[in-house]
């Protein structure tokens, strides 16, 4: 095999002086011929930490078979996972977004240290998926992503969000202890990522639209034969990418990111996609900003009636064809750029040329003449509360404007206690601050309080603001990613109880009715209530992380 295709591994295994390296590799299964093959690292996110990843070892084995049968040599290694759903509402959630950086760093470290010529990553949870793509973009070696797949629905079409919202219903006395236990016991039946268009399925779809996974990799159930086949074919495809020397930055162009944004909007996807796509673009050296989401959002409708705001689960979208027919429709209407290269070695246009359309009797994905919303549900807001931007998820069902009085809490725990004690009333704007990237540190998701609000029947009666972020399972009138964050003295830090706040998704404004003079007076008196005394990874993250408007990355010079 040509050294050009073994550019990195040849340094590790060629020559007399590398005999010790070869000796160690023989112990892990290398044979004589393997030293002349390109080496492909398979980054598996398998763990028993969460159902999202508990099956990925079997997918990694299938991917290994695909690599080894196509002239390359596969080497499986692992990286970490933190479960959002399990850590949600606790201090453990501070580690969730941080794990994205640790995952990217760890994959980069192994691939760089071992001299792999190609990379295949398998992710099945919110942060390991963008972490995988960030590493691919940094390394810029032939690479492909495999999605671990979506979970099957629980009893009565329940999912993990059903459990969170049941907690709020239980506190209102709407369901009994036994009913809560029934939902808890049956909502999550086995392996796979959370079953709506939450962050995992959103990011899987974005990655496919970007061209970094095989067609329909995003729309297969975790335990299906199709997902095993997808992993096998991805193993073969990455060997082809090595042969072609087709690298991530050849694929992850500005046009590819714009395709990803458009598909996320059409699917009604998670606000976390903004944070993660900004971060991946940073690593790919693409100049992407909040304004790009706003620009594309003006011409891209929401077409998919998927949870959390809609009615259907990912498993039901899979049954009617996944996202390939959606992308074909969008391409025909010039909402996607079909000239973008993909990991098949072909363009997106080529990949979609023979794609099927949705069945005529399905009601999950609407036509362009009958959209759920004519423009994006992901709104980028500015104003005196968010001079550097904020991100809202406004589907329209909760209205497009909200004005109310501030109810202020300095942590998620304090807010959750207030919600459960009945302190939140119709017309309130719930403010949770000091939960941003630096303030947390870690920018926790606020699924527990938003789900409790929905469970209490207040979803369309209150608004919710934070410098933290929201789970893909969140719905209601919510605004997150407010920058500058409170920890750095942003306007959110000096909001006071009872201040009048206006959110307008028509003009994309978020403002507090307080004069500039009064804001200045408050700012002079403000003192951050959090001490900068975090140790370990939390302290390191706080020192390095950028704002949410820049993707909350830790590699910016």
Catalytic residues: 471
Q: What is the CA radius of gyration of the chain?
A: 23
In three-state secondary structure terms, 146 is strand
Alpha carbons 437 and 485: distance in angstroms, whole number: 8
41, 121 contact by CB (below 8 A) = no
- Tokens 């996202």 correspond to what residue? 323
- Tokens 């999550």 correspond to what residue? 188
Alpha carbons 177 and 180: distance in angstroms, whole number: 5
Close Cβ partners of 236 (under 8 Å, ≥ 6 residues apart): 66, 67, 69, 70
No. of helices (H) and no. of strands (E), the chain: 21, 12
Q: What are phi and psi of 220, to 5 degrees?
A: -140, 140
Alpha carbons 301 and 500: distance in angstroms, whole number: 31
- Tokens 């071992």 correspond to what residue? 114
Alpha carbons 268 and 276: distance in angstroms, whole number: 16
Report the Cα–Cα distance between both ends of the chain, in Å, rounded: 39
Alpha carbons 81 and 47: distance in angstroms, whole number: 7
Joined together, the tokens standing for residue 14 give: 């060629």
Return the ∠ at Cα 429 (arms to 426 and 432), rounded to 5°. 130
């Amino acid at each position: 095999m040509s050294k050009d295709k073994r550019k990195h591994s040849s340094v590790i295994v060629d020559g007399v002086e590398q005999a010790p390296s070869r000796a160690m590799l023989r112990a892990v299964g290398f044979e004589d011929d393997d030293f002349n093959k390109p080496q492909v690292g398979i980054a598996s996110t398998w763990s028993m930490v969460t159902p999202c990843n508990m099956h990925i070892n079997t997918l990694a084995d299938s991917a290994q078979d695909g690599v080894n049968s196509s002239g390359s040599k596969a080497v499986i290694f692992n990286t970490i996972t933190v479960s959002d759903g399990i850590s949600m509402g606790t201090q453990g959630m501070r580690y969730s977004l941080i794990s994205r950086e640790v995952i990217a760093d760890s994959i980069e470290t192994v691939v760089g240290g071992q001299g792999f010529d190609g990379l295949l990553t398998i992710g099945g949870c919110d942060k390991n998926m963008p972490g995988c793509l960030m590493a691919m973009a940094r390394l810029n070696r032939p690479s492909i992503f495999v999605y671990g797949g979506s979970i099957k629905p629980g009893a009565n079409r329940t999912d993990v969000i059903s459990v969170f919202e049941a907690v709020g219903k239980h506190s209102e006395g709407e369901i009994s202890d036994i009913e809560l236990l029934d939902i808890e016991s049956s909502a999550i039946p086995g392996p796979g990522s959370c079953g709506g268009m939450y962050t995992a399925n959103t990011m899987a779809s974005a990655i496919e639209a970007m061209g970094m996974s095989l067609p329909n990799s995003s729309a297969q159930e975790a335990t299906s034969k199709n997902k095993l086949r997808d992993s096998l074919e991805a193993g073969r495809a990455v060997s082809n990418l090595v042969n072609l020397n087709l690298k991530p930055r050849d694929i992850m162009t500005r046009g590819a990111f714009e395709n990803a944004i458009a598909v996320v909007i059409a699917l009604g996807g998670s606000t976390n996609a903004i944070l993660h796509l900004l971060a991946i673009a940073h690593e790919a050296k693409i100049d992407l900003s909040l304004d790009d989401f706003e620009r594309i959002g003006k011409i891209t409708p929401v077409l998919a009636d998927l949870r959390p705001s809609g009615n259907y689960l990912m498993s039901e979208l899979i049954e009617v064809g996944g996202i390939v027919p959606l992308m074909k429709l969008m391409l025909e209407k010039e909402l996607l750029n079909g000239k973008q290269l993909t990991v098949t070695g072909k363009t997106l246009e080529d990949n979609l040329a023979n794609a099927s359309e949705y069945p005529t009797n399905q009601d999950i994905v609407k036509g362009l003449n009958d959209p759920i919303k004519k423009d994006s549900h992901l709104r980028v807001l500015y104003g005196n509360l968010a001079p550097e931007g904020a991100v809202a998820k406004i589907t329209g069902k909760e209205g497009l404007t909200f004005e109310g009085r501030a109810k202020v809490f300095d942590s998620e725990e304090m807010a959750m206690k207030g919600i459960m004690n009945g302190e939140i009333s119709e017309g309130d704007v719930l403010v949770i601050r000091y939960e941003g990237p630096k303030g947390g540190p870690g920018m926790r998701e606020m699924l527990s309080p938003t789900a409790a609000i929905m469970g209490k029947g207040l979803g369309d009666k209150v608004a919710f603001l934070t410098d933290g972020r929201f789970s893909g399972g969140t719905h209601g009138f919510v605004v997150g990613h407010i920058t500058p964050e409170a920890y750095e003295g942003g306007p959110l830090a000096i909001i006071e109880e009872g201040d009048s706040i206006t959110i307008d998704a028509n003009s994309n404004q978020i403002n507090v009715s307080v004069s500039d003079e009064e804001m200045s007076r408050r700012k002079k008196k403000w003192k951050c209530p959090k001490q900068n005394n975090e140790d370990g990874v939390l302290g390191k993250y706080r020192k390095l992380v950028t704002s949410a408007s820049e993707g909350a990355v830790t590699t910016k010079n």
